[in-house]
Amino acid sequence: MLELSDIEAWRSFASEQRSKGRRVGLVPTMGALHEGHVSLFRAARETSDVVLATIFVNPRQFQDSSDLDSYPRTPDRDRELALACGVDCLISPTLEAMWPDFPAPTPTTVTLGQLGEVFEGAGRPGHFDGVASVVAKLFVITGACRAYFGEKDFQQLTVIRRLVRDLGFDVEVVAQPIVRDDDGLALSSRNVLLSPDGHRQALGFSRALRRVAKEPRSADAQRETLRGVLEGAGVEVAYAEVVDPLTLVPSRDGEAGERRALVAGFVEGVRLLDNGPVQLVGR
């Protein structure tokens, strides 16, 4: 496995692969790799000729410095896991290379507007502008590729799809299903911050999503169920919403068809999120 930190070497490697007729697969990560990332590596391995993985904890998407400082970092384990999964090139760019002016603001940025201001963006102003800006830079450096993202961060996936569509990147976004523990908890790098009791509380997320997936009902009824199950599990609910999966616009009573349930909240001070399909019926 080739390991790089230099941006120009990264750009050159990807370009060289394409010149040989190989399809490049890109898996962007912030490290602290787990089985969810493994599923992305495997998908990239199966459907691309050469797999690039990036590890970069992007400070521009953190509004709270303590949250950034506490973000788990496991470089040795990450390297072993990437190698075991057949990653061809592991890229760990430096902060100085990615954002030369940091901690001063970077003058050039991607601004998302409404799509980045709701749900995760509502309580974290600028978060998705930071996500979109770093992903745009990853795409610019890598060039034409397939990029693999998990559905667990559904709003992030929606943002990246919009980014590619609006700015015309030569990138095919490939979404992979949520990977869960045997007990149903969606895998997340933040799960390691939970105690055993906190882990049990966090199962309220998947339990709420299973409940609303069982029976088509109105949008308001589904929201009420989501919130009730989460609160009953002891989750401090940030939001429990049913939305259009393409626009993230909240659904109204009277709408029918498949939508997406988005849930987020705090367990032991750790912010967790999850999502799943839900069917609505009109009145």
Cα–Cα distances in angstroms (integers) from residue 43 to residues 77, 146, 150, in the given order: 20, 11, 11
Q: Are 115 and 162 in contact (CB under 8 A)?
A: yes
Q: Are 54 and 82 in contact (CB under 8 A)?
A: no
Strand 171-176 relative to strand 236-243, pairing: unpaired
d(CA 269, CA 43) in angstroms, rounded, equals: 33
Question: Under 8 Å CB-to-CB from 160, ≥6 apart: which residues?
Answer: 131, 132, 135, 147, 149, 173
Determine whether 34 is an active site residue.
no
Catalytic residue among 34, 37, 127, 199: 37
**Amino acid letter, 113:** G
DSSP string, 108-156: S----GGGGTSGGGTSSTTHHHHHHHHHHHHHHHH-SEEEEEESSSHHH
Q: Are 110 and 127 in contact (CB under 8 A)?
A: no
* Token pair for 41: 């590596």
d(CA 204, CA 274) in angstroms, rounded, equals: 10
Q: Residues with catalytic annotation?
A: 37
